[in-house]
Amino acid sequence: MKNYEYKTIEKKWQKHWLENKLFKTQEDRFRPTFYCLDMFPYPSASGLHVGHIEGYSASDIMSRFKRMQGYNVLHPFGWDAFGLPAEQFALATGKDPRSFTYENIKNFKRQIIEAGKGVDWDRELATADPNYFQWTQWIFKKLYENNLAVLKDVEVNFCEALGTVLANDEIVTVDGKMFSERGNYPVVKKAMRQWVLKITEYADRLLEDLELVDWPENLKEMQRNWIGKSTGAMITFKTTVDDYAFDIFTTRPDTIYGATYCVLAPEHPLALALASDDEKDQVLEYIEKTKQKQELDRLAYKEKTGVFTGSYAINPANQKRIPIWLADYVLPNYGTGAVMAVPAHDDRDFEFAQKYGLDIIEVIKNAEDKAFTGDGIHFNSGILDGLNNEDAKNKIIADLEKRQIGYSHSNYKLRDWVFSRQRYWGEPFPVIYDENGNIHLLEDNELPLELPVLDNIRPSGTGESPLANATEWLYVSNKGKRDTNTMPQLAGSSWYYIGYILKNHLGMIPLNSPEAKSLLDQFLPVDLYIGGTEHAVGHLLYARFWHKFLYDLGLVSTKEPFKKLVNQGMILGSDHSKMSKSRNNGVSPDEVISTHGADALRLYEMFMGPLEAEKPWSTDGLDGAKRFLDRVWRMFDFEITEENQESLETVYHQTIKKVTEDYEKLGFNTAISQMMIFVNEVYKLKKIGKKQARGFLQLLNPIAPHMTEELNQDVLNYHEELIYSEWPLFDEKYLVVSHVELVVQVNGKLRAKIEIEVDTKQEVIEALALKEENVMKFTEGLTIRKIIYVPNKLLNIVVA
């Protein structure tokens, strides 16, 4: 047989798959569906790297496997096309972000195809496609109509150089000052009128419904912590200044008798009003300093800072006057931005009280010289004396409610989603403001509202987006003015898995149509979603929020969008560090496909280790993958018989069973190991049955689709493509093993192997082992001290 010409063969099959649309999802309601989804990429100028190919190959393997098992598979692909990176590149080069983005998409698509990924390209979409973002705008309209999208004055991270608001994860802090992660530009806190989505309205459902999904536990925990639900009480504290009062939230209302001071966030609306004349200058200075700090740093600072306002609050439990302080460790958006401080029973309050010489009063019995945060019997606590924590909480809440100065309450760390961006390359808001500032939504037939073509997309300099300069687009005759903000990049990615289901070669099926509902009921939820952990509390949380909203509208019938989620591990550079341009350790799939072929790349990445584990890149490992495929190719030079080879039947059916089970749990590395065992057995025999040969090709096909299709057609002369063949089944009768090979060691070193019947008695095995010539050689003249026996596997003779 000719040599394996992978370049020619891979191009041949990729062309065949594309031209015949062999991965097109069928209109078949009688077969079970399998929806396999990748976290779609942002199409950057640098193209894909081998880390991307790992996850994309894993999802392709599962899609091919499930298709052969008889499922109607939906495996689409698309592009997260809007966003700041394209806009910044356009500003730096003078290119149009639209043309730049779609040029990159063309390159990414080429790489995906050359990696052998079987995609239904009729469903391809990009979030910047007008027929797609028309429905992103429509969903925003529905959010507004249901009072879940509102305009609010909020404090944001604003970068003047980039001309836009940045999320916390887009910022780095150096020496207490904030800078943009992209470009390292200064960032300041700034109050701006922004669109905000009320994700907090869904906080409890987002928490509770995590129990419905098969996700990694650590990822679920990240979402739980991000939502951060805590239960306690809301309590009103009056002050000694005029009629001012403020509410505090506490998870430990039982410790209220030990509250010796209160702390407000510097951003609290009463922070300045409560500042006495003597303290006002210091308070103002402290507020300004705090504005330059990022929230995460305010929480992380080891040394707490604060300033006394000069005013006092009244502890509602005992009517004592307690000082009111400002401190940066209290955040304005958590709870009410005000806390009661109980230094005897809170580590943070204890540290602050010690630093500033504030009173520390114990109300739970404790023998240690530090804050005690555990359960215990209350004292110095009036009506709570003698009670434990839980009983004390219940009693004080009942008392507060009776006096109408407090009530039971749950609080969340989760913030509402600031949804406005001051940039050009994003979805425009489908709203118009009339001359009185009233909001008018565009009609459905006016969507999509597309971006105007601008020669200059630089920030306006007024805090508005570049759209403020698009006068002809901005002003709508007899109606008013459009919104100059655009939506964040995460808008389009919050429902793209739905977009794939509704996309066809003609366009998008309307999301609010009966046809859409029928299709969504058929394919949702996504059966398997593969991607990185970096989206745990961004995209995944927002997509769940939007899905639940669409569920409430009756547009989808499942509570959750993604049933099973798998995070593939990062592929590191050969230096064991993250692949990056700066380290010059990145590997392009183009290079590997050129030198080794796509099948070798796919096989190597799946054989590196468990899919979820971090793994360093190795050229030696890649060479090994190529050698194995060459060995498979040469295996088909052996005699191929019409009848199955009886001596291969056991290992053949063991391989079917093992590979099937491993594919189901995404254990691709162990599946490959089993296939290697099978190939070794064929090499020993130098012949194989035709049915066994085809069955092996079916097992290997999801990982190495090009080679296996070629061998199936060219050598075995089958005309049906493997991708539509029926997955092989194992026969239980061949899995019953009567004999095994047992390892014999002397002092832990291999000295012989003997074949025995399964479950042979130990004394019989010992007698057989001691008769082995090589065992006798290493035991002669020595005393047997101990014999260790692992049934059906190993016998170790310890001598001295």
pLDDT digits (tens, 9 = 90+) for 350-369: 999 999 999 999 999 876 77
Mean pLDDT over 587-615 rounds to 96
Residue 110 has a CB neighbour count (10 Å cut-off) of: 13
Question: How many Å apart are CA 306 and CA 313, to the nearest integer?
Answer: 17
Output the pLDDT for position 151: 96
Give the range among 278-292, 457-471, 495-509, 700-714 with minimum mean pLDDT.
457-471
CA–CA distance, 437 with 193 (Å, rounded to integer): 13
| Ordered DSSP codes for 315-332 | -TTT--EEEEEEETTS-T
Structure tokens given for 442: 């565009």
Matching residue, tokens 């769940």: 544
Same CATH topology for 31-229+412-568 and 235-399: the answer is: no
Cα separation of 722 and 699, whole Å? 10
Lowest mean pLDDT among 44-58, 265-279, 729-743: 729-743
Strands 125-126 and 78-79: parallel
Predicted TM-score of the model (pTM): 0.87
Binding residues: 581
- The answer to whether the beta carbons of residues 625 and 633 sit under 8 Å apart is no
Confidence of residue 301 (pLDDT cuts 50, 70, 90): low
- Using a 10 angstrom Cβ sphere, with 0-12 exposed, 13-18 middle and 19 or more buried, the burial of residue 266 is buried
Instruction: Look at residue 535 and tell me whether its pLDDT is greater than 90.
Output: no
| CA–CA distance, 133 with 419 (Å, rounded to integer) | 15
Mean per-residue pLDDT, 58-70 = 98
The better pLDDT of the pair 160, 782 is held by 782
Domain ranges of the chain: 31-229+412-568, 235-399, 618-734, 739-799
What pLDDT score does 573 carry?
Answer: 85
Over the Cα atoms of the chain, what is R_g?
33
Q: Is residue 83 pLDDT above 80, yes or no?
A: yes
Is residue 334 predicted with pLDDT exceeding 70?
Answer: yes
Task: State the Cα–Cα distance between residues 523 and 32, nearest whole angstrom.
Answer: 9
Whether pLDDT at 235 is above 70? yes
Q: Regarding the domain delimited by 235-399, which CATH topology (the fold level of the hierarchy) does it fall under?
A: Isoleucyl-tRNA Synthetase; domain 2 (3.90.740)
Buried b (16+ CB within 10 A) or exposed e, 621-658: ebeebbebbeebbebbeeebeeebbeebbbbbbbbbbb
- Cα(404)–Cα(126) distance, integer angstroms: 54
Q: Which residues participate in the annotated binding site for ATP?
A: 581
pLDDT at residue 585, as a whole number: 79
Distance of alpha carbon 338 from alpha carbon 331, whole angstroms: 8
Q: Is the peptide bond before 253 cis (omega within 30 degrees of 0)?
A: no
Q: What is the mean pLDDT of residues 105-133?
A: 97
Question: How many DSSP H helices and E strands does the chain contain?
Answer: 25, 33
pLDDT at 722 over 80: yes
Percent of the chain with pLDDT over 90: 80
Which of 419-423, 575-579, 593-597, 697-701 is predicted least confidently?
575-579
Judge whether residue 270 has pLDDT over 90: yes
| Total Cβ atoms within 10 A of residue 211 | 8
Q: Please report how the helices 705-714 and 598-607 are oriented relative to each other, as an axis angle in degrees rounded to 10.
A: 120
| Span 783-800, pLDDT tens digits | 999 999 999 999 999 999
pLDDT (average), residues 217-236: 96
Find out if CATH 1.10.730.10 is the number for domain 618-734: yes
312: nearest Cα among 246, 407, 396: 246
Q: Which fold has domain 31-229+412-568?
A: Rossmann fold (3.40.50)
The number of beta carbons lying within 10 Å of the beta carbon of residue 393 is 22
CATH code given to domain 739-799: 3.10.20.590
Percent of the chain whose predicted confidence (pLDDT) is above 70: 98
Closest C-alpha to 167, from 541, 494, 421, 427: 421
For residue 639, CA distances in Å to 533, 598, 629, 689, 789 come to 48, 28, 19, 8, 41
Amino acid occupying residue 132: Y
- Convert the pLDDT of each residue in 134-148 to its tens digit: 999 999 999 999 999
- Per-residue confidence at 302, pLDDT binned at 50, 70, 90? low
Count of residues in the chain: 800
Distance from C-alpha of 251 to C-alpha of 574, rounded to nearest angstrom: 49
736 alpha-carbon distance from chain centroid: 42
- Rounded to 5 degrees, what angle do the CA atoms 601, 570, 214 make? 105
Section 739-751 average pLDDT: 93
pLDDT band at 581 (very low <50, low <70, confident <90, very high): low
Rounded to whole angstroms, the Cα distance separating 176 from 697 reads 60
Q: Report phi then psi at 264, rounded to 5.
A: -110, 150
Average pLDDT over residues 616-621: 93
Could you tell me the two tokens for 74?
């939906």
Mean pLDDT confidence for 169-185: 81
pLDDT at 633: 98
* Average pLDDT, rounded, for the chain: 93
pLDDT at 169: 65
* Beta-strand pair 306-314/439-441: unpaired
